[in-house]
Structure 1
Amino acid sequence: MTSAPLRLTVLGSATPHATVDNPCSGYLVSHGATRVWVDAGSGTLAQLQRYVRLDEVDAIWISHLHADHSADLLTTYYAVLFANVRFDAPIPLYGPPGITDRLAHFLTNTSTRSPVESAFAIRELHDGHQASVGGLTLTTRAVEHGIPAFALRIEVEGRSLVYSGDTAPCANLTRLAEGCDALLCEAESSRAPADGPQVHHTPEDTGDTAGAAGARRLLVTHVGPTLTPAEAVRRASTRFHGPVDYAAPGTTFSIA
């Protein structure tokens, strides 16, 4: 019997804000009947519903709390509690430390705290965190973005997908991505900063990380506004000699 494919659907990849044809960061990872929503940037909830109903999502995983990766959690809260959809239980939500209070702060409009736990079963991430969702194994590593931020490895039946989140090149990401079938890696910066800490990959960094990790395939995402996707792919390809593609919104990749 042929096993179910591991699929990555790009809901959006824009930064630092959604554009008319590209929401911010958000991805749907699916395997059989299991579905994980990875990052919930502005505009991604609407796109998610092209593929699944919200009550069919088994878990949500958030890399960090910048709005272009997490803002649609606010509208998701209202959808879970007040839309015409029945939920048997709150949606499991994996996110950085402090995510519960951050959501409650934004959603509370009176002296009564908003019951975010009614919509989400929240588990805070830490370096080395592991979870099982359906048949998927989710492994989290801390990365370098100037705030608590994480990268994710998803594995099932010998296949693996790694997502960088937002980060400068770092050893934890390289180790997490070792031998993966596909590395979905951000390339927001057109060049490394002349001064101050680096908090993003350049396209060349993206290629270097994929090569150092021995990834089989590179998917370039979260391309900054000073770059075109074609330029980011071209520059990443100068450092990584495997297949390189752009994570265009609406695209579905089969991970094999």
Structure 2
Amino acid sequence: MSDLSLTVLGSATPYAEPGNPCSGYLVSSGETHVWLDAGPGTLAELRRHTGLDRLAAIWISHLHADHCADLLTAYYGALFADVELPAPIPLFGPPGIADRLAGFLTNGPSRSPVERAFAAQELSDGHRAEIGPMTFTAAAVEHRMPAFGVRIEAGVASLAYSGDSAPCPAVTSLAKNCDALLCEADGPAPSEAHHTPEDAGEAASGAGARRLIVTHVGPFLTPGDAVTRAAARFEGPVAYAAPGAVFHLP
């Protein structure tokens, strides 16, 4: 049996709030730590728990800034500060992630050496990666751009993460019989790019998830409203991904 824990670094959208960075999480099993999404403000919170040089990997669901912008400052930290990387940090993300970073970081005729900081591996539907005792399995989801949900397993423990997505079969499939579904509940009304709280509840119910954690709650909902609305469609326990919260699975 392996333990699996989820630490919420931030869950705000579309921009950080006082005391709550944008989307970012630390997923851990034993001494193996993976930074899951790197929204603005999450690097500082990550450092409360571990350092860039102790990360086993970074996993990015999609390339909207509220999920990946702290990779930019992580680059400077990894190469030009007090961090000594034993090797570039494995970076899993959508196609083109390394070039996207280089495009922002390059300020002269020579391309910024992002590969010195990050060993990028591009995700595809069904991509599977073994990271220490954890297995990460990606699935393409519906977000009007390349975006991936993920299922994370360690021993008997399992966590599914929707990333940003409209309701779609991939999210339900990733979450089948999982210990917890971490699902965005962005808006008060149906969308072609996001879940409502009701959608999140239905996804958890349809998947047979044991627990639902709503995250990425937009500015037109309160966390309490999101939990209440999701709970109307899911009979299991529902929690809000409050910054600093830690969930232990199973």
* Partner residue, 1:229: 223
Contact 2:188 2:197 in 1 (8 A): yes
Residue type of the alignment partner of 2:228: R
Contact 2:9 2:45 in 1 (8 A): yes
Structure 1 SS opposite 2:164: coil
| Structure 2: runs of 5+ lacking an equivalent | none
Contact 2:9 2:46 in 1 (8 A): yes
Cα deviations by residue, 1:191-230 (Å, 9 ceiling, x for unpaired): 114xxxx100000000000000100000000000000000
Task: Write the distance in 2 (CA, Å) between the matches of 1:53 and 1:114.
Answer: 23
TM-score normalised over the length of structure 1: 0.97
Contact 2:211 2:236 in 1 (8 A): yes
What's the C-alpha RMSD, in Å, of the aligned pairs?
A: 0.7
| Structure 1: runs of 5+ lacking an equivalent | none
* Partner residue, 2:155: 157
* Partner residue, 2:211: 217
Cα deviations by residue, 1:134-190 (Å, 9 ceiling, x for unpaired): 010000000000000000100011110001000000011111110100000000011
Over 3 Å off, 4+ runs:
none
Structure 1 SS opposite 2:201: helix
* Partner residue, 1:92: 90
The Cα shift of 1:5 comes to 2.4
TM-score normalised over the length of structure 2: 0.99
The sequence identity of aligned pairs, in percent, is 64
- The structure 2 residue matched to 1:59, chosen from 48, 57, 60, is 57
* Partner residue, 1:126: 124
Matched, 1:203 2:197: yes
The Cα shift of 1:43 comes to 0.3
Task: Write the distance in 2 (CA, Å) between the matches of 1:107 and 1:74.
Answer: 7
Task: Write the distance in 1 (CA, Å) between the matches of 2:39 and 2:45.
Answer: 11
After TM superposition, the structure 1 = structure 2 runs for residues 68-217 of structure 1, keeping only pairs within 5 Å, are 68-193=66-191, 198-217=192-211
Task: Write the distance in 2 (CA, Å) between the matches of 1:175 and 1:5.
Answer: 22
